[in-house]
């Protein structure tokens, strides 16, 4: 079986893909759309069976690859999003400044205050580009999951089990929220009250408005 996870940066998609591949005993292929991805990963993503692949669709589009045609080569499609744009923007800002994309890190309130303007810019990018880039590939044949319902409420774990046909889960601890990259307790009141955030931060968290 070929499984494709369509997502956006800083969504928790890497751990989700790793977990699912481990549960199934499949090969894990991370971002074959990345310009530095090796050729074997790109070939596997296009043709091999028993794989779980994570992609950012805009990268394929930028390289004139028809994403819809690519999707048709997969058996199961999961569209995964992190539905709090503020959380995504903070994580994006940190990764852009530090070039740390896949290692644990700590963000404190000083970081938030110092980089407020960049975080606000990233919120607009998340809302008007990254979210839309995933939404356009949602269909009745795909499963929609969110960061909160995978890592916090765990509601989407049962949805994934049914969708994929999983029975016993042996590696569910990989999805423990304590294993997330971002560490530390933040006071986000200042950001949540910012006029550029308040119009949509409260409604975007609901799946019905997100997908």
pLDDT digits (tens, 9 = 90+) for 159-207: 999 999 999 999 999 998 766 666 555 666 666 666 666 655 544 444 4
pLDDT digits (tens, 9 = 90+) for 52-104: 999 999 998 988 889 999 999 999 999 999 988 888 998 899 888 988 777 67
Which whole number is the average pLDDT over 10-30? Answer: 95
Q: How confident is the model at residue 46 (pLDDT cuts 50, 70, 90)?
A: confident
Look at the chain and report how many structural domains it folds into.
1
CA distances from 184 to 22, 154, 180 (A): 28, 21, 11
Find, among 210, 126, 108, the residue nearest to 202 by Cα: 210
pTM for the complete prediction? 0.85
Q: How confident is the model at residue 109 (pLDDT cuts 50, 70, 90)?
A: confident
The DSSP code for 75 is S
pLDDT digits (tens, 9 = 90+) for 116-173: 899 989 998 998 999 999 999 998 899 999 999 999 999 999 999 999 999 999 999 9
CATH code, domain carrying 52: 3.40.50
What is the distance between the alpha carbons of residues 152 and 52, in angstroms, rounded to a whole number?
Answer: 22
Domain extent, residue 150, equals: 2-210
What is the distance between the alpha carbons of residues 117 and 196, in angstroms, rounded to a whole number?
Answer: 11
Among residues of the chain, what percentage have pLDDT more than 90?
51
| pLDDT for the residue 83 | 86
């Amino acid at each position: 079986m070929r499984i494709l996870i369509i997502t956006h940066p800083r969504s928790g998609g890497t751990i989700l893909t790793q977990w699912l591949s481990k549960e199934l005993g499949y090969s894990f292929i991370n971002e074959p759309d990345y310009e530095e991805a090796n050729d074997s990963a790109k070939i596997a993503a296009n043709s091999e069976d028993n794989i779980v692949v994570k992609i950012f669709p805009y990268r394929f589009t930028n390289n004139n690859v028809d994403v819809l045609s690519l999707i048709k080569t997969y058996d199961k499609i999961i569209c995964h999003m992190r539905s709090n744009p503020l959380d995504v923007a903070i994580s994006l800002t940190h990764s852009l400044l530090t070039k740390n994309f896949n290692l644990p890190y700590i963000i404190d309130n000083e970081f938030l205050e110092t980089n407020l303007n960049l975080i606000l810019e990233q919120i607009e990018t998340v809302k008007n580009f990254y979210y839309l880039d995933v939404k356009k590939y949602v269909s009745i044949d795909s499963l929609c999951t969110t960061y909160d319902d995978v890592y916090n409420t765990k509601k989407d774990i049962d949805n994934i089990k049914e969708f994929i046909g999983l029975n016993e889960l042996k590696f569910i601890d990989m999805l423990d929220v304590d294993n997330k990259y971002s560490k530390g307790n933040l006071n986000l009141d200042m950001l949540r009250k910012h006029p550029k955030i308040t119009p949509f931060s409260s409604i975007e968290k609901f799946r019905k408005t997100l997908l």
